[in-house]
A and B are shown apart, each in its own frame.
Chain A
Amino acid sequence: MANIWVFVEETNGSPSTLGLELLTKARDLGDVTSIYLGAGDDEAFAALGDHGATRVFHVDSGERLPSAPVAAALAEKAAEESPDLILFGQAYTDRDVAGRLAARLGVGVLSNATDVRITEDGVETDHEIFGGAQVATAAMSAAPHIVLVRPKSFAAAPSGGGPPAITPLVLPDTGGSEARVTASHVEEREGPQLGDATIVVSGGRGLGSADAYELIEKVAKPLGAATGATRAIVDAGWVPYAKQVGQTGKTVKPNIYIAAGISGAMQHLVGMKDAGTIIAINKDPDAPIFGVADLGIIGDVHKILPQLIEALENR
């Protein structure tokens, strides 16, 4: 059986959903060890076992920014037992640890994978390219194969596995200067989390101005929807980065996705094209967003959204 490690970060005291998705996939590929980053408690470890981990390498970096010390600890452990595959999510801390670990081990990283297979020669991964129009299948020569998997590529499901064996990993001194986390700020937000929402309403450059983003919020409110945005308007400073949907932002898979004033750049499509139903409003009849929309409306968001808001509020 292949020896597979899965990186799982703690979020609000529990294993992240992304981590559980990766464990669920990994248990079909081999023997699963979860690297667990966080304070950790019996309940968290039980959840890892219930999703397929038979062992847990527990790391708690405290105030130290995890990337350098965790990568150093994992590199030592990898030298001991040569895992075949190490799965990470395409997420902030995952990328930090995976990048440093790969450089330390002198192996590559395959990023943005949407599927992973064990083959006779090693590991094969699928990657959506050009906004999801094509799938590139990649292979890597040297083990351990380090793969970053996009969120929501697999559905997390319990396996009924019992409690895993816990091995705490000591974080070594990395020698150089280290980054420290001195404070954490949680931004106030209204409504549901973008990543988990069943309805998402997003706006793009077609809104015309930062002020017009209010229209997106007003559509979202009566629907109980989360609000999203394109990279263009995040870069323009209209809305915070946390709202960005797409390649460099969040991947969403809501039942309903409403795209207002969004042309449908590849960068955006890859983050939302798997939504159940897509409704798009755009002035340009040739906008690529219409290629994936179940209902495409050629029109002005400044006319249609106020009408939609009124209709929703009057229900």
Chain B
Amino acid sequence: MKVVVCVKQIPDPATPYRLEEGTNWLVRPSEQVLDDTDRYGVEMGLQLAQANEGSVTLVSMGPAGNAQGIRQALAMGADKAVLVEDDGLRGSDALTTARVLAEVVKREGFDLVIAGTESTDGYAGVVPQMLAELLNAPALTYATSVETDGSAVTIHRQTLEGYDVVSADLPALVAVTAGVVEPRYPTFKGIMDAKKKPVDSLSLSDLGVDSSAGQEVVSITEAPERSAGRKIEDEGQAFAEIISLLEQRKVI
């Protein structure tokens, strides 16, 4: 079974994000990290591939930088990676991203595509669905559990009130939520092996995708700030302050 996992390198969420002057694009340092959300997709892919004698190919779009995020996913156990990097892709919207990923996925061939539900830096939350449409494949989304026998896939799809059981024949795309599975930490051997794994690099001209972004940020303004109120140190009686505020607000 051929499993393709979409992954993204993002600026470390623990560092402040900023926008580039003029374009309002997110500044992406050369040192990026694997989006934490994607560790769940990679782990799911590895487990399903192992159970079905398959392989895991990583597909990623964006500035590669030192590719340490991709290496991290390879160190978890993925077999190879395909990276699409091109200056013409800067400021891409969700549709362009989906078009690029779709071209690569078609070239690689797939039984199952796995993606995160949304990235942590852009969080448009529609790329997996767009990708599935471009691949003419069903999209089983918001998965909190995934099972496959190699010919069909069944997931638990998160709903507001619980979950639905959703099934489709392969080939299909599954978008997983964080928590679908416990991601492994790379072992020392995994990290060493990852250095030797193939990482193919492609550009826009290799793929022939139209990258004209249909949308732009026209302005950035400061939001009206919510002013902080009182800040006190607890010396044993702070709970009474909470009680008194709840009383003032007439909820107790």
Chain A residues proximal to chain B, CB less than 8 Å = 11, 65, 67-68, 71, 90, 92, 95-96, 98-100, 102-104, 106-112, 124, 128-130, 132-142, 148, 174-187, 195, 198-199, 223, 231, 234-235, 237, 241-242, 247-248, 255-256, 258, 265, 267, 273, 276-277, 279, 281, 285, 290-300, 303-304, 307-308, 311-312, 315
Contacts and interface: CB of A to CB of B under 8 A. Distances in A.
A247 B119 CA distance: 11
B164 A137 contact: no
Given A100-B139, A184-B164, A256 B246 contact: yes
Contacts of A292: 226, 228
B165 interface: yes
Contact of B139 (A96, A231, A298): A96
A106 B98 CA distance: 11
B222 A134 contact: yes
Contacts of A133: 222-223, 225
Given A128-B223, A247-B123, A277-B245, A68 B141 contact: no
A305 B167 CA distance: 44
A99 B234 contact: no
A139 B238 contact: no
Contact of B234 (A100, A104, A241, A299): A299
A241 B136 CA distance: 29
Top 3 A-B residue pairs of the complex, sorted by shortest distance between their CB atoms: A99-B129, A299-B234, A99-B126
A307 to B, nearest CB: 4
B178 A231 contact: yes
A286 B94 CA distance: 35
A189 B130 CA distance: 33
B218 A139 contact: yes
Nearest to B222: A134
Nearest to B135: A176
B215 A311 contact: no
A92 B141 contact: yes
Contact of A111 (B24, B124, B238): B124
18 contacts: A65-B140, A92-B158, A92-B159, A103-B129, A108-B215, A133-B223, A135-B221, A137-B221, A179-B172, A184-B164, A185-B164, A237-B182, A241-B144, A248-B123, A258-B242, A277-B249, A296-B231, A297-B231
Given A179-B140, A293-B228, A294-B229, A103 B133 contact: yes
Given A108-B95, A186-B162, A256-B251, A95 B221 contact: no
A99 B214 contact: no
Of the four ranges (under 10, 10 to 19, 20 to 34, 35 or more), the interface on chain B belongs to: 35 or more
B155 to A, nearest CB: 9
B219 A100 contact: no
A138 B217 contact: yes
B226 A273 contact: yes
B147 interface: no
A257 to B, nearest CB: 11
A142 B228 CA distance: 41
Given A99-B129, A133-B223, A148-B126, A186 B161 contact: yes
Contact of A90 (B125, B141, B169): B125
Contact of B129 (A96, A199, A294, A308): A96
B138 A177 contact: yes
Q: Choose among B124, B128, B217 the residue with the greatest number of A CB atoms under 10 Å from its CB.
A: B124
Given A68-B138, A96-B139, A141 B95 contact: no
B234 A298 contact: yes
Contacts of B138: 65, 68, 176-179
Contact of A112 (B123, B220, B245): B123
A138 B133 contact: no
B120 interface: yes
B192 interface: no
A66 to B, nearest CB: 11
A254 to B, nearest CB: 10
A312 B252 contact: yes
Contacts of A291: 226, 228
B167 A182 contact: yes
Nearest to B141: A96
Contact of B179 (A237, A295, A298, A307): A237
Nearest to A124: B218
B242 A308 contact: yes
Q: Choose among B13, B129, B161, B178 the residue with the greatest number of A CB atoms under 10 Å from its CB.
A: B129
